[in-house]
Amino acid sequence: MPSVFTHLRSSFGRRIILLFALCIVAPGALFGYISLRQVEEKFDQETMRRMRLQSREIGMSIHGGFSSIETEVGLLAGILGDGTTPSLRRSSDWGWLFHDRPLLGATILRDGSRAEALFGNPGPLPPRTDAARRHLASSHGLLYLQRNPGGSTRLFLAHAIRGKAPERELLVCEVNPDYLWERVRNAAPPVTEIAVLSPDGAILFQTRPLPVAVFGRVEQERRKEPAGNFEWGQGSGTLLVDFSAIFLKPTFLSDDWIVVVGQSRSEAFAAARHFTWALFLSVALVVLISVLFAHVLIRRSVAPLAVLKEGTRRISGGDFDSRVEIGSGDEFEDLARSFNTMADQLGREFRTQARLIEELAQNDIGTLAALARTVDTNSHWTAGHSERVTDLAMDIGRKLGLPPYEIDRLHRGGLLHDIGKIGVPPSILDKPGKLTEEEFAVVKRHPSKGAEILDPIPNLQNIIPIVSQHHERFDGKGYPNGLSGESISLHARILAVADVVDALVSDRPYRPGWSREKVLAYTLENSGTQFDPKVVEAFHRIEAWKSVDAPAETEFTGRPLEQTIRA
């Protein structure tokens, strides 16, 4: 059963998928990315705006707390200045009156030094400046701090007693910080980290410890602007920080306090992450549906193409009876019918051409055979030699496993291997005695002469090495060029064995033919010197040469072996 993704093996299918990705997926991904970036940017702005509102709300809560405390202190100062309630001068009465109130203690300072504690611990002197005296004289509370040796900070609010000059008699109350910080906690969101800094940068309150470096950065930024925001850290530990000043000077003659609001980016953008996942899932769903839709369409287009491709492959392999069947009901079905019509026409044309080529090939081989017989009739002793050598060479080539076109080359080369003997006089070829050096030199020129004869014929160029090298020896002692080993054409090495074998078994004017047994022994004896060992081994595997004749005695007159094998 074919895979549903078989169409991806097609380059056309892959191009369609790529086009789909470029036209659908890429714009969708780009749109999703841009939308996500815009949402993140908007969410970032909204988060910073929300934190700014939170810091201002906390600052207003602290300011409102001090205003409420000032009202309490002003009421107490009025009671003390009225003088109508002497019973409240006792400390126990004051403790009952301010139980669970925003004050931890109250002290009356007279003449700038003498103190009378109404309840709680005595308070320190307020700042002695002209601005402080004017502020107290206007019936406003004066806020100031006292740093304890242990690092804690006490808050005090001074107020003029009604009807008394501030420098003669003054009420100093210690503010309960828990009252203020409870208001801060109520105003702060759960995941927000809050810190309140004094004018000198000391930490008065914080919900959870913030890194010390954050406060250093806040100190740097507040020198530029009274309010601002920044990001501190990197990665998942990034902290969003906003700070703003609490303006206390007009009402309480105190330098500005600083409210710091911090929130982890990962917590701040938790909602954005949910939106991101929802956007991602939506885009992924759209892409998945589009991919499935494209998959169906591509399969409908690629499947007919695959059928046509397979039909074309069979046609190119010579199967002209191949037909394709496509029932898509569109242009592909029309194309399939045209393809089948073309296959019919190609089949008829091919068979016609094949018959013509076969006839031409037969004529060509017949022409070569006729030419070979013409050469062999130059001497009646060599009649049929070229055709017998050719048949034996082709048998050896088949034993070596050569492909058909190489066997055909042996066929053509074998028929024409001795064509150069046209220039050798019959008197030399048929001479019964020993050849002179001049006569043997004429014989030795026939391979080169044959190559010259064939050189002008284009379709016989590939057999020229066979003709020119069939008398070369494997050990390099042959002629005409003294080639050796595998520098000699394989076809020439095959023909060398076949040529010598046929020459030895044939009767010649200068000697009778050898027995097959003696020829087999001779080829083995000269394997590796005169002949290629592989070719000799293949020759010995030919069935017709496995059963040998009985040995025959043959007399020789000491002629050189080259002249004995004069073929």
What are the CA-CA distances from residue 164 to residues 234, 316, 425 (Å)? Answer: 58, 121, 161
CB atoms within 10 A of CB 303: 18
CA–CA separation, 105 and 120 (whole Å): 4
Instruction: With beta carbons less than 8 A apart as the criterion, state whether 478 and 565 touch.
Output: no
CA–CA separation, 552 and 556 (whole Å): 13
How many residues are present in the chain?
567
The enclosing H or E element of 359 equals: helix 331-376
- Which phi and psi (to 5°) does residue 199 adopt? -60, -30
CA–CA separation, 180 and 286 (whole Å): 54
CA–CA separation, 139 and 333 (whole Å): 102
**DSSP secondary structure letters along 394-424:** HHHHHHTT--HHHHHHHHHHHHHTTGGGGGS
Assigned token pair, 96: 């009952």
**DSSP secondary structure letters along 248-301:** -HHHH--PPEEEEEEEEHHHHTHHHHHHHHHHHHHHHHHHHHHHHHHHHHHHHH
Write the secondary structure of 158-227 as one string of H (helix), E (strand) and C (coil). EEECCCCCCCCEEEEEEECHHHHHHHHHHHCCCCCEEEEECCCCCEEEECCCCCHHHHHHHHHHHCCCCE
Side-chain-side CA neighbours of 441 within 13 Å: the count stands at: 3
User: Is the bond preceding residue 480 a cis peptide, omega within 30 degrees?
Assistant: yes
Active site residue 421: yes
Number of H helices and number of E strands within the chain?
A: 20, 10
Q: Where are the alpha helices (DSSP H) in 83-173?
A: 91-97, 130-137
Residue 463: name the closest of 488, 492, 496 by CA.
Answer: 492
* Candidates 399, 421, 449, 518; catalytic one: 421
What residues are annotated to the active site?
421
